[in-house]
């Protein structure tokens, strides 16, 4: 038995936790802050070993899920928690691309990720697998909604006890989307940053595995798979430009790390990918720091319909600013009205219904194109990270209504005629 564990440990390439600021290394335990300088801890790997043990073929022979990249993830288990997460479609956009004037636009569609329809299933699959390895029996998180959904669902699948924390004013779909898995759900009267502060205290006193607090170094690595998959799905090539939403900034920085790891071990050719980030104006501390050329974040109080990305004091914000700057990308914010337009635009042109975070990303894409910051010939990938069925409130009153009719042909014909007349009138209004 000891033998078996030793071989497994040897086979895994992750080596230690390392402070991003001062470089101090730590054992692979459940901790996320440097004891010397309070910098964030990150998992480091033996890339030499990976270069010799991973090829495009070994990856392709793996499962049709994010676990085909297990060698790049910080878990030992031979049986990681695999509920079919990852390998979501990379859609070549036709109609949206034409509408916006781009020639090579792709949509990475995590609105259909499994099991809970957001990219958070990736980070939680890694965090709970690691939590189990470290001996935790209760898992938890501070969430803006999607993370609570993922943690509750995957904990249910893995048979772990679960207690999740959310701001009390979340969308109905996000609350129901946690409750259905029967976790203990704490709805805190306050915003996400207050929820997060409370959870840090609970993590210290209860010995639970908080996926985005004491397990954060492991959790965040799961987002690299959004970089890996895009590279593989583009035929083992990196795009020229990516646009992703920013909450804490973690996802953004880990897509960057994922691309660089694939270059480092020789799976793709090196290339400078531009990284652009999207925030809602009502919670845009990272966009503001970028615009003002600051190297620190000024926390804000969130006020936007894009609740899933409403983090006023983003832990990885400053690293996101650095990446956007050094890659020649940009960080932009858009209004709630533009976010709603973004949701509708993606739905009408591509048949993809995204939540407010996706509306933010599409609206920023449009803004960057209008500002001449995206070359039409660049291979551009836009990351859609969540599903619109969970944030229906956002579009209430901004979409059409059904035509209610009698179960008779003449009633149908009349309604059809009325709707066509209405459409003509709308067009005339557009034309004058």
Which residues of the chain form contacts with ligand PLP (CB under 6 A)?
118, 120, 146, 245-252, 308-309, 355, 357, 385-386
To ligand PLP, the closest distance from the beta carbon of 182 in angstroms equals 21
Q: How far apart are CA 73 and CA 65, in angstroms?
A: 13
To ligand PLP, the closest distance from the beta carbon of 398 in angstroms equals 19
**Closer of 80 and 249 to ligand PLP (Cβ):** 249
To ligand PLP, the closest distance from the beta carbon of 390 in angstroms equals 9
**Closer of 50 and 225 to ligand PLP (Cβ):** 225
**Closer of 59 and 259 to ligand PLP (Cβ):** 259
Closest CA to 354 of 174, 111, 118: 111
**Closer of 59 and 218 to ligand PLP (Cβ):** 218
To ligand PLP, the closest distance from the beta carbon of 207 in angstroms equals 24
Q: Name the residue number minimizing CB distance to ligand PLP.
A: 386
What is the Cα Rg of the chain in Å? 22
**Closer of 85 and 308 to ligand PLP (Cβ):** 308
Can you read off the two tokens belonging to residue 247?
A: 């909450």
Q: 187 φ, ψ to 5°?
A: -95, 105
**Closer of 80 and 177 to ligand PLP (Cβ):** 177
Q: How far apart are CA 304 and CA 374, in angstroms?
A: 26
3-state per-residue secondary structure call for 292-359: CCCCCCCCCCCCCCCHHHCCCCCCCHHHHHHHHHHHCCCEEEECHHHHHHHHHHHHHHHCCCECHHHH
Sheet with 184-188, side-by-side order of all strands: 184-188, 161-167, 138-142, 209-210
To ligand PLP, the closest distance from the beta carbon of 245 in angstroms equals 4
DSSP state of 68: G
DSSP state of 272: -
To ligand PLP, the closest distance from the beta carbon of 357 in angstroms equals 4
């Amino acid at each position: 038995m000891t033998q078996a564990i030793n071989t497994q440990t040897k086979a895994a390439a992750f080596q230690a936790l390392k402070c991003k600021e001062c470089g101090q290394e730590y054992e692979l335990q459940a901790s996320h802050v440097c004891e010397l300088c309070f910098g964030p801890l990150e998992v480091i790997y033996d890339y030499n070993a990976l270069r010799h043990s991973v090829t495009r073929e070994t990856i392709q022979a793996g499962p049709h899920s994010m676990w085909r990249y297990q060698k790049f993830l910080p878990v030992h288990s031979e049986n990681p928690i695999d509920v079919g997460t990852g390998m979501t479609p990379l859609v070549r956009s036709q109609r949206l691309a034409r509408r916006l004037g781009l020639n090579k636009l792709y949509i990475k569609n995590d609105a259909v990720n499994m099991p809970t329809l957001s990219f958070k299933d990736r980070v939680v699959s890694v965090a709970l697998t690691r939590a189990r390895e470290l001996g935790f029996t209760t898992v938890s998180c501070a969430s803006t909604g999607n993370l609570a959904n993922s943690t509750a669902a995957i904990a249910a699948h893995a048979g772990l006890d679960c207690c999740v924390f959310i701001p009390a004013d979340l969308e109905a779909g996000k609350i129901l989307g946690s409750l259905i898995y029967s976790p203990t759900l704490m709805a805190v009267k306050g915003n996400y940053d207050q929820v997060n502060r409370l959870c840090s205290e609970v993590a210290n006193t209860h010995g639970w595995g908080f996926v985005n607090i004491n397990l954060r170094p492991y959790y965040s690595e799961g987002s690299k798979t959004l970089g890996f998959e895009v590279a593989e799905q583009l035929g083992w090539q990196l795009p020229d430009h990516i646009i992703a939403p920013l909450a804490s900034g973690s996802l953004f920085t880990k897509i960057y790390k994922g691309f660089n790891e694939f270059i480092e071990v020789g799976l793709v050719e090196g290339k400078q990918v531009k990284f652009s980030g999207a925030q809602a104006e009502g919670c845009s501390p990272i966009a503001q720091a970028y615009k003002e050329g600051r190297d620190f974040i000024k926390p804000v109080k969130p006020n936007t319909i894009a609740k899933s990305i409403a983090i006023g004091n983003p832990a990885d914000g400053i690293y996101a600013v650095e990446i956007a700057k050094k890659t020649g990308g940009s960080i932009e914010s858009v209004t709630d009205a533009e976010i709603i337009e973004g949701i509708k635009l993606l739905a009408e042109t591509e048949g993809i219904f995204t939540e407010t975070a996706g509306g933010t990303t599409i609206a920023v894409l449009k803004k960057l194109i209008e500002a001449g910051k995206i070359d039409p010939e660049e291979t551009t990938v836009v990351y859609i990270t969540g599903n619109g069925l969970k944030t229906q409130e956002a579009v209430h009153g901004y979409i059409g209504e059904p035509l209610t009719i009698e179960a008779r042909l003449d009633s149908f014909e009349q309604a059809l005629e009325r709707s066509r007349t209405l459409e003509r009138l709308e067009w005339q209004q557009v034309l004058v």
